[in-house]
Copies of this chain bind each other. A is one copy, B any other.
Amino acid sequence: MDFELSEMQQMVVDSAERLVTAETGLDQWHARRKLTDGVDPKLWVKMAELGWMALVIPEDAGGLGCPMEDLALLMIELGRGLVTEPLISTSVLAAHVLDRALVSERRAHWLGRIATGEVRIALAHEEPHTNGTIGVSARRIEDGYMLDGQKAVAFDAPSAGYLLVTSELEGTSALFLVARESTGIATNSYALIDGSRAADLTFASAHVPSDGLIASGAAADRILNEALDRARVALIAQAVGAMEVALRITAGYAKERQQFGQPIGKFQAVQHMAADMFVAAYQARSALYAALRDIDGDASKRARSVAMAKVVAGMAGQTVSRNGVQIHGGYGVTDEYVISHYYRRLLVLEKQYGGIDLNAAKLALCEAEA
């Protein structure tokens, strides 16, 4: 156990810090609302050039083969800058799925394309939660598979060239890799509250060639869960970064803003709200560390540690963003003050791939079954 950064880690952090400083801020965030698919292509290229897409891809597939700690450090920096580029979908989630599901040349091909930033891939997994909608199922046809059904809120799908689609197939799970613009796939894109994009996907007799099925059965479930847990760790790390900056911005505001003849930071109530933010952010980073310890280990231990971290970071994100807005007073609920953007981003980071409630329920089940 060692908390000091390695040279490589320091390099990643420094480059991320530089990019975040140069490329983010209120004006940029407002401008990004106008991007059709939520991605700034120039920024994407820069990130790829910095090697970020390749960071946790194995060396034998053209990646840098770094451990998840390095990725977490990068994500913390991106979280500081509220960077919503679809890095996690492609270079964490899809990269892991393809690393485990594909072999030899095909694996090298796809991971190589991810590592260079050439391709973006989104996961289409969650299904709508209301009556009148149906999940995705596949059936085997002569030259491949036919997919029907709906997926909701596929994060980053609008800018993705390919989709990883989970599906029912002959009574078991299946994982397909398909081009998003294939015939029979309709994309309903929309913005999320942090300016990133998601889409609902409707599959109507969508044809997938035979090699589009990349995993099935227990293997598909296992690979997906591993990949989702890695993506969750990346989200948690972004949340940690976002909290630490929200805290700094709020403390700064409390020192500047005068009311009743003194900076509001002199009021004990404001001090205590800020102290609670600090405690929460500290606790969130600790939870991230716990998840990182187990991320490559035993599956049930990994799932448990990640769920714990998602819960702790989720609650911490609420404390930090709520108190941050409260301390900012009226300015806190305006689009013009960055704290409201941290608020919205932290809400997305809490909910994505399962919020506090779902993860707490998962942990409760573990407790009961232990």
Interface secondary structure of A, over-half rule? helix
Is the interface on chain A under 10, 10 to 19, 20 to 34, or 35 or more residues? under 10
Q: How many copies does the complex hold?
A: 2
- Interface segment out of the listed A153-161, A163-171, A267-275: A267-275
Closest to A270 in B: B268
Q: A267 contacts which chain B residues (CB < 8 A)?
A: 268
In the bound complex, what is the Cα–Cα distance between A269 and B267 (angstroms)? 9
Cβ of A169 to closest chain B Cβ, rounded Å: 34
Q: A268 contacts which chain B residues (CB < 8 A)?
A: 267-269
Cβ of A323 to closest chain B Cβ, rounded Å: 14
Cβ of A299 to closest chain B Cβ, rounded Å: 33
In the bound complex, what is the Cα–Cα distance between A132 and B267 (angstroms)? 57
List CB contacts (< 8 Å) of A35-86 with chain B.
none
Cβ of A264 to closest chain B Cβ, rounded Å: 11
In the bound complex, what is the Cα–Cα distance between A272 and B269 (angstroms)? 8
In the bound complex, what is the Cα–Cα distance between A304 and B267 (angstroms)? 42
Per-residue CB contact flags for chain A residues 249-268 toward chain B (1 = under 8 Å, else 0) read 00000000000000000011
Cβ of A254 to closest chain B Cβ, rounded Å: 14
In the bound complex, what is the Cα–Cα distance between A268 and B268 (angstroms)? 6
In the bound complex, what is the Cα–Cα distance between A272 and B267 (angstroms)? 12
Closest to A272 in B: B269
Closest to A268 in B: B268
In the bound complex, what is the Cα–Cα distance between A267 and B266 (angstroms)? 12
List CB contacts (< 8 Å) of A224-283 with chain B.
267-269, 272
Cβ of A244 to closest chain B Cβ, rounded Å: 25
In the bound complex, what is the Cα–Cα distance between A269 and B268 (angstroms)? 6
In the bound complex, what is the Cα–Cα distance between A267 and B269 (angstroms)? 9
Cβ of A327 to closest chain B Cβ, rounded Å: 14
Q: A269 contacts which chain B residues (CB < 8 A)?
A: 268-269, 272
In the bound complex, what is the Cα–Cα distance between A76 and B149 (angstroms)? 61
In the bound complex, what is the Cα–Cα distance between A267 and B267 (angstroms)? 9
In the bound complex, what is the Cα–Cα distance between A55 and B268 (angstroms)? 49
Cβ of A238 to closest chain B Cβ, rounded Å: 33
Q: Ordered nearest first, which 5 A-B pairs have the shortest CB separation?
A: A268-B268, A268-B269, A269-B272, A267-B268, A269-B269
- Contact sample, A vs B, 5 pairs, CB 8 Å cutoff: A267-B268, A268-B268, A268-B269, A269-B269, A269-B272
